[in-house]
Structures are given as C-alpha cells and as structure tokens.
Amino acid sequence: MALPACAARALGPPLQPERRAPARTTCPRRHSRVEAELAASRPGSVAASVLAGPPRGVSRGFNSQPLLDEPPKASSSLAGAARTSLFALLPRSRRRRMHDLRRRWDLGSLCRALLTRGLAALGHSLKHVLGAIFSKIFGPLASVGNMDEKSNKLLLALVMLFLFAVIVLQYVCPGTECQLLRLQAFSSPMPDPYRSEDESSARFVPRYNFSRGDLLRKVDFDIKGDDLIVFLHIQKTGGTTFGRHLVRNIQLEQPCECRVGQKKCTCHRPGKRETWLFSRFSTGWSCGLHADWTELTSCVPAVVDGKRDARLRPSRNFHYITILRDPVSRYLSEWRHVQRGATWKASLHVCDGRPPTSEELPSCYTGDDWSGCPLKEFMDCPYNLANNRQVRMLSDLTLVGCYNLSVMPEKQRNKVLLESAKSNLKHMAFFGLTEFQRKTQYLFEKTFNMNFISPFTQYNTTRASSVEINEEIQKRIEGLNFLDMELYSYAKDLFLQRYQFMRQKEHQEARQKRQEQRKFLKGRFLQTHFQSQGQSQNPSQNPNLNANQNVTQNLIQNLTQNSSQNSSHKENRESQKQSAGQEQSDGNTSNGTNDYIGSVEKWR
C-alpha cells in the first residue's frame, strides 16, 4: 500500500523500508511518531540533523523562534520543506518538549559563559591590584626583574615566616594567659598590680592601733623540717580558689602531684613522704567538713602525729591561715548555695570532745535539704549557722560552753566570741581577704617566702553580686551578722596596715641596698684612682706613694665602719620601738605607728 498523498508530496519518492524492517502503510495520523523516528534514524537525513540540535559552540539565542516557524533557505528548499513537514508530523507535546530543551540549552551556555568571563575579569583585576600594591611597597625590587615572579616568591616567603612564627609561639607560650599576647601593655602603661582592687579611695586611714609585732608577719617556714601550714576554710569566702592556688600554683622544689579527675593532691616535703600542707586539697576533710578553729586546734596534732609515740613526736610549728569575705556578700552566696541543695551535713561541730545535741543545734529544715528556700525563710531561721559564721568559726567555742546557749547571757557570749575571734585572727600566721586578691598574694609571699607562678585574679562578678536586694533587706542581713561586720572591719584595717607596712619595708630595704652599692663603688673608684696615679709615677719620684695607699685603706675602713654603725643604730632604734610598742596597750595611741603611717603618706 502506498503512503498517503501528504507524505508523498513532501518526501517525493516513496521511502524504501530498511532491511528487516516492515514497510509502514498505515495512516500517518496514527503512526506519525514512528515515521519520524524512522526518518531520524537514517544517517545523513534532514530529520536527524534537526533532532541533533545546533552544532557544539553555536547558539541561536535563548529568545529565538521555534524551528518550525523559521523560513527555509533558498539554497535548500527541499530540506526546509522536509524539516517543516517533519515537525508538523510530530505530536504537539514532543514539539513543546524539544522547544523547552533548546531554551534550557541556550540559557545554560549563557550562564557558563557569563561565569567564566566574570571570573576571568575578577582574577585580572585582582592581579593588577596586587601588582600595584607590591610595586608601591617593594618598589626597589620591581626594577630588578620580573615583578610577578618576585612578588609571588616574596608572598610565599611571608606566609612561610608567619606559619613558622605561629609554631614557635605555640612552643614558647602554650597557655592563653601569655604575657606576650597582652596587647594592652603596648597601648597603655603597666598599672600598679596592688592598686585599690575594690575601686575605693587609694588613701587609707587606719582606725586601730597595732604594734610593730602585729604588722610584721614573717614566718620562718621550713618546708624541709616539721612545720605545717593549716588552712581554715570558711564557707563561701573563696577558700576553694585559694586552696587550689596552694597545691597547683606555687613554686616548690618538689611540687604537689595532682592527678586528673581527683581533687586531692600529694604535697610531700623534699626527700620525705610527709605532707607540709593540711587542707582540703592535700589531706581532705580529715577533721570534718569545714572544721573550725576549735576543731582544728584539737584535731590536727592528733591526725598528723597520732600514730607516733608521744616521746618521738617532733616539736612542730602549726601555721594557721584563712580567708575572710564581706559578710553581706558571703551570706547571700551561702543562701544561693543552700538553694542549690548544699547542706554540709558531714560537718561534725565537735567541741570539748563531743558534737552538739539536736536540742543545742536544731535544724532549720525537715527534708533532705533546704533547696529552693526563699531569702526571707533563710533569714527567719534563728538556728541558721550562716549568721555570724566567720566569728563562730574563728573563735574558741570552749570559752562560751560550745553550743550550749544557757551557759552565759547572750550579750556576754557575743562579746567573748568576738574578742576571741579577733585575737586568733591577729595571731594567725596569715589571713587574706576575698576582695583583695593581689594584696592577699603579696602578703602570703612575703610572709612565707614562697612565690606563686601566676597572679591571682580578682572576680568582681559573683553569684552574690547578681542578687538584687533593697536597702531594708541589706540592713537586716547586716543585723543578723553584726559580729561578722565588726570582725571584718577589724580584719580589713589590720590587713591594709600590714600591706602598707610590708611595702614600706620593702622600699626601705631596696633604698638601703642601693646606698650600700654606691658606697662600695665609690670605694673601688678611689682605690683604682690612687693605684693608677701611683703606677704612672716612679717610686723614686713619688715618696708619698705609701702615704696615699695608707690614706686609701683608711678611707675604705672608715666607710665600712660608718655603714656598720648606721646599720647597728637602725637595729637598736627598731628594737627600742618594738619594745615600746609591746609595752603600750592597744587602746593607747602608738607614736611609732603614726610615724609609720605619716611616712607612708609622705612616700606616696
């Protein structure tokens, strides 16, 4: 059967069926897709070239008209007619799909071209900019040779130098607190590390009169002998931070061994398996959780030398130290700690050989803890040990019958406790204040002749500072801790006077050392001067040579005698002042202390 007339007119001669393919004799409307595929499969045919699309690298633009709308060229009228007729034979969906593919192909090629040209332009501009910069900075190098090659080599050298510096810095200064990385040292002068840390006035006016023996605290601590430092840790005074400084931040011949994941460290004396520190982080709570003065003075000797015979026990020196804090801040910090579930149930409160009974020391809560308690409830409990805690833990409770409140009147009991706490605090080897971290570090180093590795840090923002209270609540807290307020005022005055005294003593020693060095250099200069004059002249022409040498020796002897006499006179005056200060009472005015304070102000 022949093809329909429409296909015959378009194609001319009838299409010959391929080998092993049957001839198509049905209607083209039903099998137009098959006819188009057969025409496209014939190599070199017009339909195959139409379906293949434009050649690679050729684009008609993405707004071009479909192929079926383009007019046929004059030189290929038969091909154009065949192309138009073949597209007309295709289904509408296939023609639309071919048109969409063509549009997408044109858009993708356009994006690729734009991206390639944009990157090329950007690289070219960057190259010119870098070349201009290097030509400005390294102008002399540009005249030597090729600028691009030299700039690339120079840039590579700078990068390698920077990487090498970073590696060296990591080895030299691995920590984050390296002094070399503090850029403030280059922009501003180094401030005084012992300035007023609480931002108060730098001028200090003392309220109490202390003798020279009270102000001069210098302990002859022998770490290789039998001396022992005992740390009295009061709750919420920053004692945990200070305790860590003692075991991790102090320069020793044999440092403490602290293992990862363990709170306790091993602090042995050099060459001995015996500890030199009695604290939470060295021996643990051996005398109970947060043991006070009464417990430690009776417990520590028994714990340290309990296994030895009484006749073989060495005569130890127990040096007690502690840290105090502002009573209001400490009270609020303890309340926040109790809110989080702290109870300190493991505290023994042993006094006079026994712990207190439940009637002598009732509990403020009935459950397992007092977590979530409001501040009003915390203040309303009359048996709360947070009230005047610092006075109670620093005083000798055996003087007032321990926790038995019926031994003496309350007013007399408070007076005895306060005086006992003041006396123990004054005779302690050392005490510090939480509000003065750098001064605390300075006094400890001068007292025990032991230096810390890194300086202490002053934290002005704490949990207690985040609690906002009005004036009424603050006055009530001060009333509940009136003994602690009096003790802290006394301790702060003594602390700052000791600090000023030690600073003045340090400057006097430095000035005296400079004077002795100048005297020594002056004597050496005179000696060398006379010797040079004697060598320049002959002995026969200089009969006074021996006399000059004798004068030089006499001058040196006089200088040494004067310096020794001055030092002996100073020691005599200091001993006289010390004896006079010890004879005077604390209530009378001390002329030596007033002169010291006046000299401090004059020096400032």
State the Cα–Cα distance between residues 40 and 56, nearest whole angstrom. Answer: 19
State the Cα–Cα distance between residues 491 and 325, nearest whole angstrom. Answer: 10
What three-state secondary structure class fits 368? coil
State the Cα–Cα distance between residues 252 and 198, nearest whole angstrom. Answer: 31
Q: Characterise 525 by phi-psi region: left (phi > 0), alpha (psi -120 to 50), beta (else).
A: alpha
Q: Cβ distance 390 to 488 under 8 Å?
A: yes
Task: State the CB neighbour count (10 A cutoff) for residue 430.
Answer: 20
Cross-strand bridge partners of residue 324: 433
Nearest to 376 by CA among 477, 471, 301: 477
Task: State the CB neighbour count (10 A cutoff) for residue 147.
Answer: 15
> What is the sign of the dihedral through the CA atoms of 103, 109, 114 and 119?
positive
State the Cα–Cα distance between residues 170 and 164, nearest whole angstrom. Answer: 10
Q: Cβ distance 214 to 494 under 8 Å?
A: yes
State the Cα–Cα distance between residues 275 and 264, nearest whole angstrom. Answer: 12
559-567 own/partner pairs: CB under 8 Å, 24+ apart: 559/519, 559/522, 559/523, 563/516, 563/519
State the Cα–Cα distance between residues 194 and 188, nearest whole angstrom. Answer: 17
- The residues near 537 (Cβ < 8 Å, ≥ 6 apart) are 545
Nearest to 378 by CA among 339, 326, 327: 339
State the Cα–Cα distance between residues 546 and 156, nearest whole angstrom. Answer: 73
Strands of 386-441, DSSP E: 430-433
Q: Cβ distance 440 to 398 under 8 Å?
A: no
Q: Tell me, what amino acid is at 320?
A: Y
> What is the sign of the dihedral through the CA atoms of 486, 487, 492 and 498?
positive
Task: State the CB neighbour count (10 A cutoff) for residue 37.
Answer: 13
Looking at residue 430, what DSSP letter applies?
E
State the Cα–Cα distance between residues 432 and 237, nearest whole angstrom. Answer: 10
In what helix (H) or strand (E) does residue 289 lie, and over which residues does it extend? none
Question: In this structure, what is the dihedral angle of CA atoms 539, 544, 548, 554, given to the nearest 10 degrees?
Answer: 130
Instruction: Give the residue numbers marked as catalytic.
Output: 290
- The residues near 499 (Cβ < 8 Å, ≥ 6 apart) are 194, 436, 439, 442, 443
Q: Is 121 exposed, middle or buried (0-12, 13-18, 19+ CB in 10 A)?
A: exposed
- The residues near 233 (Cβ < 8 Å, ≥ 6 apart) are 239, 240, 243, 279, 280, 290, 322, 323
State the Cα–Cα distance between residues 358 and 401, nearest whole angstrom. Answer: 16
